[in-house]
Copies of this chain bind each other. A is one copy, B any other.
Amino acid sequence: MRSDLSGLRVTIVGLGLIGGSLGLAFRKTGIRRITGVGRREESWKRAVSLQACHVGTTSLEEGVRGANLVILCAPARQILALLSAISPFLEKGAVVTDVGSTKEAIVSALNELPPTVQVMGGHPMAGKELGGLENAEAGLFTGRPFVLCPLKRTSPGTVALIEEIVRRIGALPVIMDAACHDRAVSRISHIPYVTSLALYNLALSGRLAGDPDFSLASSGFRSATRLARSPEEMSLDILLTNSDNIAAGIRRLEEYLHQFASRIEKGDVSWLKDQILRARTALDGEAED
């Protein structure tokens, strides 16, 4: 089934890397009415000139009224605030979704919207080292999982519509419970972010002690700490809206590291070998996924 998406009136709130890329990708599907809402006039004007949206505004009310699909593209805590703010302006039957990095808190807030609108949580597993509208591209979602979290109140028609849109932009829709999503991303994204901060902190302690840490750092260090370059607001919002999972994961990591240090001190070759090989086996498994 390929539905005709041309009648959709889509509003994208937030015109950064993800919002801009969605706009570019949507245009390629034949959607003819994309409104971009930016915080500053400059933002939506640039989005229009980059063809990430057809028209733009700085007014949430103006942007949301008349839309039958509203997508919130912002850091998680901003999405929570936006949901309250747009609520009075939503048309009956409009579908509201988002691309926030964490899902439980957002899905709860989506559930508070009037029963006259449809709701769905979303999270495209796609990104880039450099954020911002200027790095947006239509192909950002190609081949990437796009997590969708329907609520109990979400109609089957809404699920089907969003799945169809996700497929049309080249992504792979993955229906998932918000709690399961938040646990998984805590381990594959949020805790790796925290460790990258921790590794920086450690290297800084070396610099303060007069050691040449940063000047010797090569590509391995840059890879291991790449996530520390994530946008600040997005990162802070992740830490604050997925705190239980992240804290629990950090505790596990601590225990593991504690054991690792003891085994190194004991020179426990067979345990260390085993750990090295376990990760390599996982690498092979990952390639299969």
Contact of A280 with B125 in the complex, beta carbons under 8 Å: no
Which chain B residues border A246 with CB–CB below 8 Å? 261, 264
Contact of A223 with B221 in the complex, beta carbons under 8 Å: no
Contact of A144 with B218 in the complex, beta carbons under 8 Å: yes
Contact of A188 with B221 in the complex, beta carbons under 8 Å: yes
Contact of A264 with B286 in the complex, beta carbons under 8 Å: no
Complex alpha-carbon distance, A286 and B207, angstroms: 11
* A248 and chain B: residue at smallest CB distance: B261
Which chain B residues border A216 with CB–CB below 8 Å? 125, 145, 147, 174, 181, 184-185, 188
A156 interfacial contact with B, CB 8 Å: no
* A255 and chain B: residue at smallest CB distance: B254
- What sequence of 0s and 1s flags, for each residue 200-238 of chain A, a beta carbon within 8 Å of any chain B beta carbon? 111111110001111111111101111111101001100
A132 interfacial contact with B, CB 8 Å: no
> Which A2-50 residues have C-beta < 8 A from chain B?
none
Which chain B residues border A273 with CB–CB below 8 Å? 232, 236
Surface stretch bound by B, among A62-70, A85-93, A161-169, A190-198: A190-198
A276 interfacial contact with B, CB 8 Å: yes
Task: Using A187-B202, A269-B236 as known contacts, say yes or no to A220 and B226 having CB atoms under 8 A apart.
Answer: yes
Contact of A180 with B211 in the complex, beta carbons under 8 Å: yes
Oligomeric state, in number of copies? 2
Task: Using A127-B218, A243-B264 as known contacts, say yes or no to A279 and B196 having CB atoms under 8 A apart.
Answer: yes
Contact of B232 with A276 in the complex, beta carbons under 8 Å: yes
Contact of B227 with A226 in the complex, beta carbons under 8 Å: no
Complex alpha-carbon distance, A285 and B181, angstroms: 35
A151 interfacial contact with B, CB 8 Å: no
A258 interfacial contact with B, CB 8 Å: yes
Least CB distance, A275 to chain B, in whole angstroms:
6
Task: Using A184-B212, A188-B213, A220-B189 as known contacts, say yes or no to A277 and B232 having CB atoms under 8 A apart.
Answer: yes
Among B185, B198, B249, B256, contact of A256 (Cβ-Cβ < 8 Å): B198
Most buried by B among A217, A261, A279: A279
**A-B pairs with lowest CB-CB distance, top 9:** A192-B224, A250-B261, A200-B279, A223-B226, A228-B279, A247-B261, A188-B217, A188-B221, A223-B223
- A residues neighboring B (CB under 8 Å): 125-127, 144-145, 147, 174, 176, 180-181, 183-185, 187-189, 191-207, 211-221, 223-230, 232, 235-236, 239-240, 243, 246-247, 249-254, 256-258, 260-262, 264-265, 267, 269, 272-273, 275-280, 282-283, 285-286, 289
